[in-house]
Amino acid sequence: MNITLPDGKTMQLKPGMNGLDVANQISPSLAKRVLAYALDGQLYDLYWPIPKAGSFKLLTEKDPETLNMLRHDASHLLAQAIIALYPGTKFGVGPAIDEGFYYDMDLSQPISEEDFPKIEAKMLELAKQAFPITRKEVSKQQALEMFKDDPYKTEMIQALMGTISIYTQGAFTDLCLGPHFINTSFNQNFKLLNTAGAYWRGDSKNKQLTRIYGTAFFNKKDLDAYVLMLEERKKRDHRKLGKELGLFMISDYGPGFPFWLNKGMILRKTLENFWIDVHRAAGYQLVQTPTMLSKELWETSGHWFNYRDNMYVSEVDEKEYAIKPMNCPGSMLVYKNEFYSYKDLPIRMGELGNVHRHEASGALSGLFRVRNFTQDDAHIYCTPEQLESEVREIVKLFDFFYKKVFHIDYDVYLSTRPENKYIGTLETWAKSEKALGDALTGMGKTFKINPGDGAFYGPKLDFKLKDSVGRTWQCGTVQLDMNNPERFDLTYINEKNEKVRPVMLHRVVYGSLERFIGILIEHYAGAFPTWLAPVQIKILPVNQSFHLDFSYALKKAASALGLRAEVDASNEKLGYRIRNAQVEKIPYSVVIGDKERDGQMVTYRPYGSEEQTTVTMDIFLQKVLKEVTDITSLRIV
């Protein structure tokens, strides 16, 4: 049996050879560093016999896959420590996740974050003992016998078919696919972060387990840097900043239903108006569809049968209605209101539509998870020949918003056909997936494949944004829909004078406007760029008796240019008012004294700077105006 190494060379293997054997043949120094191996892209334990011929790669600490493995190991190390400290604990699942890991547990006694130092000390003790982590494959019956006292593992085993893999380290054995490192010694730089409640299998009808979150790194420097970043994230918490900056509030009278305060409303409307201007220039029609529509519509769309529990329902004139959880059905009714030929397509239809979804109360979180929100939906109806070019135009739009306007980078994922539940032919799916991929490739965009993660009605592109403190957010989506044009009998007349189905694309840029604002609050730490800031200029008269008139004259001149200015006419000392302007993160603080009043000048200081500059009032206002219009006048080229 031969394997192909990354440099293209082949190596002949003897039966039973594992990854470490290969590493030793290549280089003894490499063998000391290798942690796992990959065969045709699939990861394996270092000691596991190489099962077949294929493309082979040895993985070390430098490979990103191994950090994920380290964190998976850490979740098992946590469970091993828990079972030692709290005998009788039952275990759910414990995967590695972005930036860390968690384990869901049915604990034998309650624990809190105050118990973390004790648990971490036990984890470190176990890690230093270098317990071998061994894999064993057993039958379903053997697995059921091994885990007969754990109802959660038993339930998972019942759903499995064929051979089942288990991993053992010391006194802890887990049902797990792996892979893992050879022993526990690699995990010595970890930290437990917080606890949360988690229903077993995500179902509120099941028992709530305790979920312990943590993170792990290969070295202390990276762990310390991450912990510092977490502290920075806490300072940026949009719930905290939203309250401090007077942007929004949540009331007990409406959990999950945000109240927008004056400054938050200015921010929100600035984003909406910019979105509208850009979309009009890009050839989108703007529509607005009703908030409440009849049960029959939601039956046609499939929501009534598949999403009913998340919808708010009411009765009007003895007929059932539902508040819309999505804008798509309304858009399709608008499309059906006209007759189209192929010459009319593409039809690009945009809507800032307010939707309502009945989210579980425990899932609500500031602006990130709410029960009513505005989606910046667009639905594009085009011919199959136009699909690729329309996707390119959407990606250009995303580039414009994310990179040019907000300076946020992103990764793209192509989610392909699900394994079993899907509609349409394999040929149609292949063409659709190729069209999405070709559109990205033609623009020089790299993307990752998310196999089997497409919706049942079509493949999609997901755009995951990376903010200034390293978090990833799912925002932009391009979803190809092969289902709704059929359900709603959408047609156009083609070149042969035949009625045919249009291709339908769903797409959002902001996603949820509420969530996007939450992301921006944390991304900018509340210090919004001038064009977005609810208050752009804070005017500070030195003495109310002598400098107030010119201060208000400056505000009036700013307002005439469309700029947002406030005068702080309080009786507080000037230094206190300057500090307040910094706390409120106002882009420009302007001090007005005798010199400024007499010379029609302003002395300004940008946010975060100690440097003060004195210029004429007109020069200052034109400077701020240019800073705003440099963004608000941008359009897609």
Kindly report, residue by residue over 45-91, the tens digit of the pLDDT: 999 999 999 999 999 999 999 999 999 999 999 999 999 999 999 99
Beta carbons of 209 and 199 less than 8 angstroms apart? yes
Q: What percent of the chain has pLDDT over 90?
A: 83
Q: How confident is the model at residue 338 (pLDDT cuts 50, 70, 90)?
A: very high
Q: What is the pLDDT of residue 507?
A: 95
Q: What are 6-49's pLDDT values in tens digits? A: 888 889 888 889 999 999 988 888 899 999 999 998 999 999 99
Read off the pLDDT of each residue in 600-604 and give the average, rounded to a whole number. Answer: 96
Query: Confidence band (pLDDT; 50, 70, 90) for 92?
Result: very high
Active site (catalytic) residues: 328, 357, 375, 377, 379, 460, 506
- Would you state the torsion angle of the CA atoms of residues 466, 467, 468, 471, taken in this order, to the nearest 10 degrees? -80
* pLDDT for position 455: 83
Report d(CA 590, CA 615) in Å as an integer: 11
Contact 571, 540 (CB under 8 A): no
For residues 1 and 25, is the Cβ–Cβ distance under 8 A?
no
Give the pLDDT score at 2.
87
353-408 per-position pLDDT tens digit:
999 999 888 788 999 999 999 999 999 999 999 999 999 999 999 999 999 999 99
Residue 255 to residue 340: CA distance in whole angstroms: 44
Amino acid at 592: I
> Does residue 204 carry a pLDDT above 80?
no
Widest CA span in the chain: 93
Structure-block tokens of residue 238: 């949009």
Q: How far apart are CA 199 and CA 369, in angstroms?
A: 18
**Number of neighbours of residue 86 by Cβ within 10 angstroms:** 16
Q: Residue 139: which residues within 8 A CB-CB, separation 6 or more?
A: 163, 164
The pair of structure tokens assigned to 138 is 């057993």
Q: How confident is the model at residue 611 (pLDDT cuts 50, 70, 90)?
A: very high
Q: What is the pLDDT of residues 451-485, one digit of tens each?
A: 888 888 889 999 999 988 888 898 999 999 888 89
Choosing among 3.30.930.10, 3.40.630.30, 3.40.50.970, 3.90.1150.10, the CATH entry for 278-289+324-523 is: 3.30.930.10
Mean pLDDT across the chain, nearest whole number?
94
- pTM for the model stands at 0.84
**Mean pLDDT within 161-165:** 89
- Res 240: pLDDT: 95
pLDDT score at 550 = 96
| DSSP assignments along 456-524, one per residue | TTB-EEEEEEE-TTS-EEEEEEEEEESSHHHHTT--EE-TTS-EEPPEEEEEEEEEEHHHHHHHHHHHT
- Sign of dihedral through CA atoms 337, 339, 343, 345? positive
Residue type, 348: R
Sheet holding 613-616, edge to edge: 565-567, 537-541, 588-592, 601-606, 613-616
pLDDT, mean of residues 261-266: 98
Matching CATH number, 537-632, of 3.90.1150.10, 3.90.550.10, 3.90.25.10, 3.40.50.800: 3.40.50.800
Is 322:291 a contact under the CB 8 Å cutoff? no
Q: Yes or no: is domain 2-60 CATH 3.10.110.10?
A: no
Nearest to 81, CA basis, from 133, 128, 123: 123
For the chain, the structural domain boundaries read 2-60, 65-235, 278-289+324-523, 537-632
Residue 425: which pLDDT band, with cuts at 50, 70 and 90? confident
Report CA torsion sign: 472, 474, 477, 480.
positive
Instruction: List C-alpha distances in Å: 328 to 271, 349, 455.
Output: 22, 10, 15
The Cα–Cα gap between 272 and 513 comes to 9
Both structure tokens of 286: 């703007």
Residue 424 — pLDDT band, cuts 50, 70, 90? confident
Contacts of 185 (CB under 8 A, 6+ apart): 127, 128, 130
- Specify the pLDDT at position 242: 96
Question: Which pLDDT score is estimated for 468?
Answer: 85
Mean pLDDT within 317-344: 95
Find the angle CA(383)-CA(387)-CA(393) to the nearest 5 degrees: 125
pLDDT number for residue 68: 95
- C-beta separation of 314 from 346 below 8 A: no
Percent of the chain with pLDDT over 70: 100
**From 3.40.50.300, 3.40.47.10, 2.160.10.10, 3.30.980.10, which CATH number describes the 65-235 domain?**
3.30.980.10
Q: In a 10 Å sphere around its CB, with 0-12 CB exposed, 13-18 middle and 19+ buried, how is residue 8 labelled?
A: exposed
Asked which of 202-211, 344-353, 620-629 is least confident by mean pLDDT, the reply is 202-211
Helix segments in 195-284, DSSP class H? 220-235, 238-244, 262-281
User: Residue 7: its pLDDT value, please?
Assistant: 87
Q: How far is CA 627 from CA 64, 530, 566, in A?
A: 40, 7, 18
Peptide bond connecting 485 to the previous residue in cis, omega within 30 degrees of 0: no
Beta bridge partners of 192: 214
Q: What are phi and psi of 70, to 5 degrees?
A: -55, -45
pLDDT tens digits, 560-590:
999 999 999 999 999 999 999 999 999 999 9
Of residues 60 and 108, more confidence is placed in: 60
- 594 pLDDT band (50/70/90 cuts)? very high
Query: What's the pLDDT tens digit per position in 487-540?
Result: 999 999 999 999 999 999 999 999 999 999 999 999 999 999 999 999 999 999
Kindly state the tokens that stand for 569: 């006419």
Phi/psi of residue 247, nearest 5 degrees: -95, -45
Of 100, 59, 60, nearest in space to 77 by CA: 100
pLDDT at 228: 94
CA dist., res. 84 & res. 86, Å (int)? 6
pLDDT band for 305, please (50, 70, 90 cuts): confident
Question: By three-state DSSP, how is residue 209 classified?
Answer: strand
Please say if the pLDDT value at position 423 is more than 80: no
Angle CA 171–172–177, to nearest 5: 145
Structure tokens at 198: 């988690």
Give the mean model confidence (pLDDT) for residues 446-453: 90
Say if residue 289's pLDDT is above 90: yes
Tokens of 23: 């590493």
Residue ranges of the alpha helices (H) in 367-418?
387-399
- Cα–Cα distances in Å, from 30 out to 24, 35, 61, 73, 136? 7, 10, 11, 22, 26
